[in-house]
A and B are shown apart, each in its own frame.
Chain A
């Protein structure tokens, strides 16, 4: 424990007495180089000689969702503008790439990677324009009403693409350079993260937080609320658009049905689950929520009785643990012990129920339940249960940091001793 604590340098105040320019630029150059190296490295190690195409696709998908959730976090969490139609920008980026590739790729003779960069830029520009259009109502509307407008905008975009025959209509469209660039999507995700993080270190970026906390007070303090709201929408949607362009080229085929509003809800869920305003929370939630349904793909078939027993026990465990946490909120030791006790009781109860069900085989239905069908059920149930147990999200408003870990560990040891 002591070695772990000594490794963490305590953070002092932001005041730096002497600016060492060499150090200043050196650190930045090295970090940028490290970022690029990281992205290229991931791209290299996800090649066919190291992992399967499926696993590489999952890494790409994680990168896409990290970019989406972090960019939505900028709008939703940091600026506090409740937008639930983020897939609209993603779709605009994807369809920009599709349309431009259809029109120009055959005649331009550009290398694939450069074309992808070009398409990502094009997608981000069109999505940013759309973000500007959606951002304008946010000046008049607040809270749920803004949410509804963004939701409606997403649906309008989807239905419009269904009716444009040049873009394939509802039959979908093929995209010619069919290429999966993990380096680019990682670069995009890291760029989005870096922008969100660095924004909050500047005086201008604190204006975003001020708008979230109290709009009227922010105006009184001289923050240009109009500019900040619209800017948040523009930046957030530009990243989503670039991600959409890369996503379209990865799959080589897109169809408007992919961009239904449940996609927007999934991105929103990542932001809320990670904790609104927490960049690290959004990243972690994006990775978990992308991988969870994929990991659940290989579920074995289960019996009806076992499923019912499990569902009951999960319900009891959820409410038991919730109750324990609510009642013993000041006694940390009691809290964890009781929660563990409830869990143990649930496991034992489940075993007993399963044994009882084995005694009466006719209780089960004839056909076992297909594991593949259970995937989304477990996903949804996890969502509800995590929200019930920790409504403020995994990291709440905080960022993940080693000082935070140290504080948590310290408080735990303090109670124990």
Chain B
């Protein structure tokens, strides 16, 4: 039994490449920050209305399309000649995305959710699904979707890669590597000069065979050592755009925290989330609070969409189902962190991102999406309110 277990686990452990682990965790945190931004919209709406806003992914999609149109406006159309880009273009793009997404969120709330607020919650859930389908398929009528367009990579001024050395490479290996490099180039040039004398380079004379195998041997030693050199240190590499993404995300989250904790409107939001009816009795204008919540959530989704399609994954193809998968994952992240809880959404989003990239790191790329749901179910069974959610006592 034990033998079988070791037989199973040892090759698995051996197949893992621990030198790339920090890189994978950083990648996970970066993709998690996008999930976190979308998850905030789900969690805030759930906190206030107890409604799963299935159309939130479509708000995200509209944000991405807005960014695309603004980039067209700046002249970055497909097959357009070279333009100089500027950071201000990105600023305009992100602001436009946020505006359009915010408007879309408010309109969806007014049309589909507000008339049903006093009805059973399941009715709003169905209209949410309906609005989501309507935007996905209705968008196909008006938005360019085949072939799927993408935001021109040339508009991204932050495309250079940045490397960080966490653990420096082995310097003795480097010295050996330099020695081997010289031997390899000598053996290579010897084979090249010999090649000209041979009549048939594929089956050379015995002397030629000796020189060729010496060159191959030197090359193999060099490759071997250079891979050992690569794994002796730990580097983390990422595009500058991803760093910009995470900086903007942090700024947005600080802004959100300030808004929720220290402003009048934020206090009203917390009050409504705590008790909808009592808040309205205390003179809080519930309708304006709900509208405000939808604006904030959708604006964050719009910013996430623009950053995802421009900075985080430049050249990502956009279609009307663009928001489906990120939406579902962000929703899972919101539940994971405790739905209705704002820091929970951030924690859940980051956790989701890291988890996904770790599952990919283990070699199970096909199971990445499933892993998120497995963890979700386990968390819900162990702690039904999510990681940071508060366990409510059931009142009879």
Q: Is A34 an interface residue (CB 8 A)?
A: no
Residues on the B chain within 8 Å of A148, using CB? 331-332, 335, 376, 380
Q: Is A141 an interface residue (CB 8 A)?
A: yes
Name the CB-closest residue of B to A311: B138
Question: In this complex, what residue of A is CB-closest to B375?
Answer: A152
B133 and A380 form a contact (CB under 8 A): yes
Given A156-B374, A322-B115, A377-B141, A387:B130 Cβ within 8 A? yes
The answer, yes or no, to whether B219 is at the interface (CB within 8 Å) is no
CA distance A140 to B127 in the complex (A): 28
Report whether B130 and A383 are in contact in the complex, using a CB–CB cutoff of 8 Å.
yes
Rounded to whole angstroms, the CA-CA distance of A159 and B335 in the bound complex is: 20
The answer to whether A153 and B115 have CB atoms under 8 Å apart is no
Within 8 A of B (CB), among A370-389: 373-377, 379-381, 383-384, 387-388
Interface centre among A149, A153, A391 (most CB of B within 10 A): A391
Across the interface, B137 reaches (CB within 8 A) one of A145, A156, A380, A392, namely A380
Q: Which residues of A contact B131 (CB under 8 A)?
A: 380, 384
What are the residues of chain B within 8 A of A149 when measuring CB–CB? 376-377, 380-381
- Is B257 at the interface (CB under 8 A from chain A)? no
A227 to chain B, nearest CB (A): 20
* Chain A residues within an 8 Å CB radius of B370: 155-156, 159-160
Contact of B133 among A82, A162, A376 (CB under 8 A): A376
Nearest CB of chain B from residue A15's CB, rounded to whole Å:
34
Asked if A373 and B140 sit within 8 Å, CB to CB, the answer is: yes
Main secondary structure of the interface of A (DSSP, over half): helix
Which residues on the A side are within 8 Å of B374 (C-beta)? 152, 156
In the assembled complex, the Cα of A148 lies from the Cα of B329 at a distance in Å of 12
- Say yes or no: A392 contacts B119, CB within 8 Å: yes
Q: Does A327 contact B (CB under 8 A)?
A: no
Interface contacts (Cβ under 8 Å), in number, total: 118
Instruction: Tell me, yes or no, whether A269 is within 8 Å of chain B by CB.
Output: yes
- Tell me which residues across on chain A come within 8 A of B133, comparing CB atoms: 262, 376, 379-380, 383
Within 8 Å of chain B (Cβ to Cβ): is A273?
Answer: yes
The answer to whether B384 and A377 have CB atoms under 8 Å apart is no
Query: By the criterion CB–CB under 8 Å, are B366 and A159 in contact?
Result: yes
Residues of the B chain whose Cβ atoms lie less than 8 Å from the Cβ of A226? none
Residue interface mask A35-53, B partner, CB < 8 A = 1: 0000000000000000000
- Contact A265 B376, beta carbon cutoff 8 Å: no
Binary contact readout B140-161 vs A (1 if CB under 8 angstroms, 0 otherwise): 1100000000000000000000
Closest Cβ–Cβ distance, residue B231 to chain A (whole Å): 29
A38 to chain B, nearest CB (A): 31
Could you say which residues of chain A place their CB within 8 Å of the CB of B335? Answer: 145, 148
A107 to chain B, nearest CB (A): 31
> In the complex the two chains form, what is the Cα distance from A380 to B126 in whole Å?
10
Task: Report whether B123 and A392 are in contact in the complex, using a CB–CB cutoff of 8 Å.
Answer: yes
CB closest chain-A residue, reference B118: A391
A 273-290 to B, binary, CB cutoff 8 A, 1 in contact else 0: 100100000000000000
List the B side residues contacting A375 at CB < 8 Å: 137
Contact of A376 among B52, B122, B137, B380 (CB under 8 A): B137
C-alpha gap A373/B374 in the complex (Å): 36
- From B111, B138, B332, B367, A380 is in contact (CB under 8 Å) with B138
A356 within 8 A of B: no
Q: Is A332 interfacial (CB-CB < 8 Å)? A: no
A268 within 8 A of B: yes
B77 within 8 A of A: no
Does residue A144 face the partner (Cβ distance < 8 Å to B)? yes
Within 8 A of A (CB), among B323-361: 328, 331-332, 335, 339
Residues of B within 8 A of A159 (CB): 366-367, 369-370, 373
Chain A nearest CB from B53 CB (Å) reads 12
Give 13 A-B contacts (CB < 8 Å), ordered by A residue.
Answer: A137-B377, A137-B380, A145-B380, A152-B332, A152-B376, A152-B377, A160-B370, A269-B129, A307-B141, A377-B134, A380-B131, A383-B127, A387-B126
A-B pairs with lowest CB-CB distance, top 6: A152-B373, A391-B123, A380-B134, A383-B130, A376-B137, A159-B370
Beyond A381-B130, A384-B130, A391-B119: 12 further Cβ-contacts under 8 Å? A152-B373, A153-B377, A155-B328, A156-B373, A268-B129, A273-B126, A369-B141, A373-B137, A380-B130, A381-B134, A392-B120, A392-B123
Residues of chain A touching chain B, judged by Cβ–Cβ distance below 8 Å, are 82, 137, 140-141, 144-145, 147-149, 152-153, 155-156, 159-160, 162-163, 216, 261-262, 265, 268-269, 272-273, 276, 307, 315, 322, 369, 373-377, 379-381, 383-384, 387-388, 391-392
